[in-house]
């Protein structure tokens, strides 16, 4: 690990440990190496440095909105972390190429299908952009859920740390079953991915995927 990355990881750990009491025991279930797509929910901005620093020294990369590079300091940190810029809208072919390269080299990607922070912690509907990447790479997906951190700002005002929990599910692959990955099929696939994520979260956090009776595994291979 280079000096710049050591600095970033140390900074992330210092900041997140000051704000949170991090329960990361289940991260031991994340493989130490090999291509993997970590599928997470997205509540606030601090969960990313928390999981990134606590998964080191794994080769972890994230897809981040390209606008973040407009700030030079932030852009430098994102480059050190090996982040991949993602443009709003459009095909993002370059981002797809870079992401496939990471997986081909045995690295890990962290992706939040919700596409934006919820703030309240309840799952929002997933977007199917993850599906072509999973199908094309053949890489397994692993649900990693966060919960407990949605009220950290209120606790900070009272100089209290917030309990921050990480839960890890079972790895699986997506399989269209020999059929065409139409828009409807892709949405069905991402919904199944999101139900896997919902299943490792407490009921209060399942949001759009609270009706677990709708959970199927039609496109999943364990």
Non-local CB neighbours of 183 within 8 Å, separated by 6+ positions = 128
pLDDT of residue 178: 75
The tokens for 150 are: 């949605």
> From the first residue on, what is the mean pLDDT of each consecutive set of 10 residues in the chain (222 residues)?
92 96 96 95 93 94 92 94 84 89 96 90 93 95 95 94 97 86 91 97 96 92 95
Which among 29, 58, 34, 219 is positioned nearest to 140, based on CA atoms?
34
pLDDT of residue 49: 94
Non-local CB neighbours of 89 within 8 Å, separated by 6+ positions = none
Helix (H, G, I), strand (E, B) or coil at 173: strand
Summarised one tens digit per residue, pLDDT across range 119-134 is 899 999 999 989 999 9
Between CA 206 and CA 108 the distance in angstroms is 25
Contacts of 183-189 with C-beta under 8 Å, sequence gap 24+, read 183/128, 185/219, 186/128, 186/131, 186/132, 187/128, 188/218, 188/219, 189/128, 189/131, 189/219
With b meaning 16 or more CB within 10 Å and e meaning fewer, what string describes 2-37?
eeeeeebbeebbeebeebbebebeebeebeeeebbb
State pTM to two decimals.
Answer: 0.94
The tokens for 194 are: 């999101």
With b meaning 16 or more CB within 10 Å and e meaning fewer, what string describes 143-162?
bbbbbbbbebeeeeeeeeeb
pLDDT of residue 90: 58
Please say whether the beta carbons of 66 and 94 come within 8 A.
Answer: no
pLDDT of residue 88: 76
The CATH number of domain 3-221 is 3.40.1130.10: yes
pLDDT of residue 127: 92
The tokens for 13 are: 């750990």
The tokens for 11 are: 């900074």
pLDDT of residue 87: 85
pLDDT of residue 89: 67
């Amino acid at each position: 690990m280079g000096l710049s990355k050591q600095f970033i990881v140390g900074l992330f750990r210092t900041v997140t440990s000051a704000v949170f009491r991090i329960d990361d025991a289940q991260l031991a279930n994340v493989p130490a190496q090999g291509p993997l797509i970590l599928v997470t929910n997205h509540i606030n901005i601090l969960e990313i440095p928390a999981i990134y620093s606590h998964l080191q020294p794994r080769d972890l990369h994230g897809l981040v909105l390209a606008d973040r590079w407009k700030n030079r300091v932030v852009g430098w940190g994102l480059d050190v972390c090996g982040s991949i810029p993602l443009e709003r809208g459009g095909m993002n072919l370059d981002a797809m190429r870079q992401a496939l390269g990471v997986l081909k080299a045995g690295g890990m990607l962290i992706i939040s299908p919700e596409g934006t922070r919820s703030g309240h912690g309840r799952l929002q509907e997933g977007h199917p952009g993850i599906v072509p990447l999973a199908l094309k790479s053949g890489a397994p997906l692993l649900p990693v859920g966060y919960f407990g951190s949605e009220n950290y700002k209120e606790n900070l005002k009272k100089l209290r740390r917030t309990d921050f929990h990480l839960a890890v599910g079972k790895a699986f692959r997506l399989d269209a079953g020999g059929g065409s990955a139409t828009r409807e099929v892709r949405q069905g696939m991402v919904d199944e991915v999101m139900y896997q994520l919902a299943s490792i979260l407490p009921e209060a956090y399942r949001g759009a995927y609270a009706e677990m009776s709708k959970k199927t595994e039609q496109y999943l291979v364990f």
